[in-house]
Chains A and B, each alone.
Chain A
Amino acid sequence: MSTTFTVDWLPGSDVLRGRCHCGATSSAQDPATLLDWLGAHPDGHDTSGPEALLAPLPAGVAGDA
């Protein structure tokens, strides 16, 4: 099982999109907050699957969902 998570800085925005190895995703504009969320797996975030987008992206920002 992968233990790799990623943080993408979405082009054209200040938004960071995090994707946990479990498939859960979230976004934030602060790396520390997002790393806290990613590092808290499995207790700190919804692990229900790739659709578990916890924080909606700001209007006009293209995500990967």
Chain B
Amino acid sequence: MSSPVTFVRNQWYVAAYGREVTSEVLGRTVCGEAIALFRTGSGTVAALADRCVHRRFPLSAAPSQVVGDTVVCGYHGFTYDGTGTCVAVPGQSRVPRTARVTAYPVVEQDSFVWVFIGDPALADATRIPRAPWLADEAWTTVSGMEPLAARWGLLVDNLLDLSHETYLHGGYIGTPEVAETPITTEVDEEARIVRVSRHMADAACPPFYANSTGITGRITRWQDIEYFPPCLYTLHSRVAPVGVLPPAEGPDDGAFHVEVVYAITPSTATSTYDFWAVARDFARDDEEVSRFLHDSNRTVVLQDVTALDLLETVVAAEPAGTQELSINIDTGALAARRMIAAMTAGMTAATDAAVDATAGAAAGAAVR
């Protein structure tokens, strides 16, 4: 049997896009924990254990429903407020003191709904990594989510090594230069960020960028990854006509910028939510470009889904201790694995209080 899958607890995870959480209860399983998400009548997001304390009926299952600021269990009517406190039961006025369900710390930020998995006392919202472009009017964003029937670590491996674009995503985002160009890997152990950069000075322009930017010739293409384990991955993509570099001062107006964001949320041991978003600073009002980038990136994500779902069946069936081979292109993914392992073991050099994720996001903006 393959190695067991572990989840990193005491961390924030994306459970949904804000737009998905409405007065209809949404059920999501994050790190093996079933969660019922709903938007109260006052507009805030509540995240409760998806299991009525009475007879265990899922609060996300019909005919459970949101009424005002509460959710009413569809089986016997137990009614919970956003803190998980049961405020009404059928047929009697006394609500048992123990009638409550777990409420998860929840933050709505950068278009995502983040929930904290672990000890609620450790839920420091300032540690949530940022993806500000997704909720910034200066950027136009397309996004989606595709479920994976694969363990979350496979998606981390996939995204930290973009050389696979050349082979798996040829004709969309892959060109020969991606796999051919050496990478630089940077590991910030204190801030818990893994950065992987690949700067292509003279590369073919893949259809994803040619059709969205209008560039017809070769390009200078920079890929600067920042991964904030375990959940948030950002790719700062800079595309410009070949030879056009950022000016020493002032805005980088000669280039096109795309912020590609993934939230890697473990669901069960062998399933993962693959949230993806593409934000751009050009053709912002062009709906045709939006449609093209949405459809193209979704196609790319589905290519990954097909590959990783297949890979999961292979990994799940292999004997424990089966060896794999790593080469230079894997440096970032290996560094990410090590950081995740250290976080899982609670052995990171930095204390939780010392971690400043917002500083990391700011540094990411500077990379571009």
Instruction: Pick the residue among B189, B190, B331 that contacts A16 (CB under 8 A).
Output: B331
- One of B47-55, B180-188, B257-265 contacting the partner: B180-188
On whether the beta carbons of A31 and B182 are closer than 8 Å, the reply is no
Instruction: Pick the residue among A5, A9, A10, A16 that contacts B187 (CB under 8 A).
Output: A5
Q: Is the interface of A mostly helix, strand, loop or mixed?
A: mixed
Report the count of interface residues on B (CB-CB < 8 A).
20
On whether the beta carbons of B182 and A35 are closer than 8 Å, the reply is no
A30 / chain B contacts, CB cutoff of 8 Å? 326-327
Q: Does B349 contact A (CB under 8 A)?
A: yes
B99 / chain A contacts, CB cutoff of 8 Å? none
On whether the beta carbons of B185 and A32 are closer than 8 Å, the reply is no
Min C-beta distance of B31 to chain A, whole Å = 26
B184 / chain A contacts, CB cutoff of 8 Å? 6-9
On whether the beta carbons of A3 and B331 are closer than 8 Å, the reply is no
Q: Is the interface of B mostly helix, strand, loop or mixed?
A: mixed
On whether the beta carbons of A3 and B189 are closer than 8 Å, the reply is yes
Min C-beta distance of A42 to chain B, whole Å = 11
B334 / chain A contacts, CB cutoff of 8 Å? 31-32, 35
On whether the beta carbons of A5 and B186 are closer than 8 Å, the reply is yes
Q: Does B281 contact A (CB under 8 A)?
A: no
A6 / chain B contacts, CB cutoff of 8 Å? 184-187
Assuming A3-B349, A10-B182, is B330 touching A31 (CB within 8 A)? yes
CA distance A4 to B191 in the complex (A): 9
Instruction: Pick the residue among B188, B189, B326, B349 that contacts A31 (CB under 8 A).
Output: B326
B326 / chain A contacts, CB cutoff of 8 Å? 30-32
Min C-beta distance of B197 to chain A, whole Å = 10
A34 / chain B contacts, CB cutoff of 8 Å? 331
Q: List A residues at the B interface (Cβ < 8 Å).
A: 3-11, 14, 16, 29-32, 34-35, 38-39
Q: List B residues at the A interface (Cβ < 8 Å).
A: 182-191, 326-328, 330-331, 334-335, 338, 349-350
Which A-B residue pairs are the 7 nearest by beta carbons? A9-B182, A3-B190, A31-B331, A3-B189, A7-B185, A4-B188, A6-B186
26 pairs across A/B with beta carbons < 8 Å? A3-B190, A3-B191, A3-B349, A3-B350, A4-B189, A4-B190, A6-B184, A6-B187, A7-B185, A7-B186, A7-B187, A7-B331, A7-B335, A8-B182, A29-B328, A30-B326, A30-B327, A31-B327, A31-B330, A31-B334, A32-B326, A34-B331, A35-B335, A35-B338, A38-B187, A39-B338
7 more CB-based (< 8 A) A-B contacts, given A30-B326, A32-B326? A3-B350, A4-B187, A4-B190, A7-B187, A8-B184, A31-B326, A31-B330
